[in-house]
Chains A and B, each alone.
Chain A
Amino acid sequence: DTAVSQTPKYLVTQMGNDKSIKCEQNLGHDTMYWYKQDSKKFLKIMFSYNNKELIINETVPNRFSPKSPDKAHLNLHINSLELGDSAVYFCASSQTGPGTEYQETQYFGPGTRLLVL
């Protein structure tokens, strides 16, 4: 019954490796997001996809490449991992559209804790 799920939950890897994090939502939402939470708990949006189309791309290194195969999935691939990439990555989803019936609410996944050694 998990609304927004992420895999893996923990990821420990070496500098220079390439890794992927997967996200799936079963809420029927049309918009998905990736957020990064650093060691000081600061949360910042990285990307947003609406109906598989990229709509928000903050100033994120191009080593980070999101991919949305369909509305229910948004994966994050990271090339050449660096120490500074260590963080918790959260996926979220929401339903957009006119009127407050869509409630403007983003639902978050449990997070993926990435540690780069």
Chain B
Amino acid sequence: AQSVTQLDSQVPVFEEAPVELRCNYSSSVSVYLFWYVQYPNQGLQLLLKYLSGSTLVESINGFEAEFNKSQTSFHLRKPSVHISDTAEYFCAVSRTGFQKLVFGTGTRLLVSP
């Protein structure tokens, strides 16, 4: 079975500062990795994903994540955050070939001016 750990339940940061949201996973088989974002009172939106190939994946709004197989991590980073990045961020894993997403407990990113 797969599992995901997001150690930080909340990350406060000032606007324009860099941020890293940590995600570690556990699996005995190969996996796909995802980051989803949930804005207040909204559904989840896919931010970025790793399926195969380059271990560094990027989103259109400046986030990036790096798949590190040896450390079983998929940390999310942004070099300079905006107030509008305030949201809940969920890391998720699925076993390759299966469609079942297993989510972490989420990290609330709070960006203040």
The residues of A with any CB-CB pair to B shorter than 8 Å are 4, 31, 33, 40-45, 48, 50, 55-56, 90, 92, 94, 96, 100, 103-111
Instruction: Say yes or no for B78: interface residue by CB 8 A criterion.
Output: no
- Measured CA separation A48–B99 after assembly (Å): 9
The residues of B with any CB-CB pair to A shorter than 8 Å are 32, 34, 36, 38, 42-46, 49, 51-52, 88, 90, 94, 99-103, 105-106
- Measured CA separation A4–B100 after assembly (Å): 18
- Measured CA separation A90–B46 after assembly (Å): 14
> In the bound complex, do residue B43 and residue A108 qualify as a contact, i.e. CB atoms below 8 Å apart?
yes
Q: Which residues of A contact B52 (CB under 8 A)?
A: 100
> In the bound complex, do residue B105 and residue A41 qualify as a contact, i.e. CB atoms below 8 Å apart?
yes
> In the bound complex, do residue A42 and residue B49 qualify as a contact, i.e. CB atoms below 8 Å apart?
no
Min CB distance B76 to A, Å, is 17
- Measured CA separation A105–B34 after assembly (Å): 9
**CB-defined A-B contacts under 8 Å, sample of 9:** A41-B106, A43-B90, A48-B100, A56-B99, A56-B100, A90-B44, A105-B46, A106-B101, A108-B45
> In the bound complex, do residue B43 and residue A109 qualify as a contact, i.e. CB atoms below 8 Å apart?
yes
- Measured CA separation A52–B100 after assembly (Å): 16
- Measured CA separation A56–B99 after assembly (Å): 9
> In the bound complex, do residue B94 and residue A42 qualify as a contact, i.e. CB atoms below 8 Å apart?
no
- Which secondary structure characterizes the binding site on chain A? strand
Q: Which residues of A contact B42 (CB under 8 A)?
A: 110-111
A-B contact count (CB 8 A): 55
> In the bound complex, do residue B103 and residue A43 qualify as a contact, i.e. CB atoms below 8 Å apart?
yes
Apart from A104-B49, A110-B42, what are 11 other A-B pairs with CB-CB below 8 Å? A4-B43, A33-B99, A43-B44, A43-B90, A45-B100, A56-B100, A94-B99, A103-B51, A105-B49, A108-B43, A110-B43
Residue among B32, B42, B101 having the largest count of chain A Cβ atoms under 10 Å: B101
Q: Which residues of A contact B49 (CB under 8 A)?
A: 103-105
> In the bound complex, do residue A42 and residue B99 qualify as a contact, i.e. CB atoms below 8 Å apart?
no
> In the bound complex, do residue A100 and residue B51 qualify as a contact, i.e. CB atoms below 8 Å apart?
yes
Q: Which residues of B contact A48 (CB under 8 A)?
A: 99-100
Contact of A104 among B38, B51, B106 (CB under 8 A): B51
